[in-house]
Amino acid sequence: MTLTAVQIRVLGALIEKEIVTPENYPLSLNSLVNACNQRSSRDPVMELVEDEVRQALHGLEDLGLTSTLHDSRVLRFEHNARTVLDLRRDETAVLCLLLLRGAQTPGELRGRSERLYDFDDISAVQATLDRLAARSGNEPGATGPLTMVLPRQPGSREARYTHLFGGTPDVSEPVATATAETTAQRVIRLEAELAALTTTVAELRSRLEGLEVWKQQF
């Protein structure tokens, strides 16, 4: 399955709120919009409107990932990700964080997972990521890998992992772009430093010439 950015945010928000605030779950449409648009624990921050969230819910419901409850005056929505994808609690927590905050390292995931799941250490997070990445689409009810490791960024000690709900990312172009940007930034910095040195040298030369004129007068 390939979800849109809005569907990914909606699914992540539903998973988070079920775990963190079960007393307010399932969510009304208004509560879900607010959860999607949170300023904290979201990357990127979004400004979704009700119609966008409603359309995303329709698409997710067609895939069996969400359900609508009609047993009250206010429609409420819940996710079915754990059942449909056959997820464990630790797997659900990791996917929730990746859905809401994008690619992250195992260390970042452990530091941000406290309210979702209590991982013993980073190796436990790593094991969960590896298990999600190794899922086989040939198994009954399986949907194939749900995470993948990204190429390590220059200067980074840990590799980042991403979810695959939006499809397999193109890892070649972003790396090349990042390298080009770094090179361009370096050229700009060197040009600025050269300009500053040129100005300094000109000021020193002017002061020396003024000193020579002063000496000649005396």
Which residues, including other chains, have CB under 8 Å from residue 49's CB and lie 6 or more apart?
A: 33
Q: Average of pLDDT values for 15-26?
A: 98
- Mean pLDDT over each residue of the chain, to the nearest integer: 88
- CA-to-CA distance for 10 and 100, rounded, in angstroms? 9
Q: What's the whole-number mean pLDDT along residues 1-15?
A: 96
Q: Are 145 and 133 in contact (CB under 8 A)?
A: yes
DSSP β-bridge partners for residue 79:
66
pLDDT band at 71 (very low <50, low <70, confident <90, very high): confident
